Amino acid sequence: SRNTLREAFRLLGHERLLDHRLNRGVFVRLPSVEDVSDLYTMRRVLEGAAVRREASRQALALIEEAVRDAERAAAQGDWQGVGTANIRYHQALVGLHGSPRLDETMRQLLAELRLVFHVMDNPRAFHEPFIDRNRALLALLAEGRTEEAAAYLDDYFDEAERLLIHAYQPNG
């Protein structure tokens, strides 16, 4: 029904996934360069604090599973699958906090980030280097080297943010 659609559009707009333009309709939102930077600011806070926590075997198993799924998808040339596994990887990192509220915040942030990934002309060029980086970060976590993991993640985010902002540049 119309009311159901309106409510769905309102909720998706609230999550910053849709834009409602008066007398024009509802459109999938295209995040700006400023949005990309803000998303990475949030990620640095959420995930940076998460990797400073000691990881349980169960948490490490979820992170490992996401890494293996990304490696399998890459071997099959499924770069959308790599992206999906990468999303699960980062959700699992925030899961180290053990907070349902932070998990939900990360879920919303990652949904918005998926819109950003659509500007990438070559998803392989973007996702491929991060497969090995995810494995390296997992190794640091498994060894309990949390401060090194946090520093590694900062560098990781600097590179990812740079690549995405570059994709937004004209003729990027």
Q: Tell me the three state secondary structure of residue 61.
A: helix
Residue, of 100 and 29, whose pLDDT is higher: 100
**Claim to verify: residue 18 and residue 81 sit in the same structural domain:** no
Instruction: Residue 70: give its domain's CATH number.
Output: 1.20.120.530
Instruction: Write the pLDDT tens digit of every residue in 103-161.
Output: 999 998 898 888 777 777 788 888 999 999 999 999 999 999 999 999 999 999 999 99
| Helical (H) or strand (E) element with 42 | helix 33-51
Q: Tell me the three state secondary structure of residue 1.
A: coil
Average pLDDT over residues 76-91: 95
Buried b or exposed e, range 122-133, using 16+ CB within 10 angstroms: eeeebbeebbeb
**Claim to verify: residue 40 and residue 26 sit in the same structural domain:** no
| Helical (H) or strand (E) element with 20 | strand 18-21
**Claim to verify: residue 162 and residue 111 sit in the same structural domain:** yes
Does the pLDDT at position 14 exceed 60? no
Average pLDDT over residues 37-56: 95
In the chain, % helix, strand, coil (3-state, to 5) comes to 75, 5, 20
**Claim to verify: residue 24 and residue 36 sit in the same structural domain:** no
Q: Which domain holds residue 63?
A: 32-168
| pTM given for the model | 0.82
In one letter, which amino acid is 83?
G
Joined together, the tokens standing for residue 118 give: 């659509």
| Domain count across the chain | 2
Does the pLDDT at position 2 exceed 90? no
**Claim to verify: residue 15 and residue 53 sit in the same structural domain:** no
pLDDT band at 19 (very low <50, low <70, confident <90, very high): low
Tell me the C-alpha distance between 5 and 9, whole Å: 6
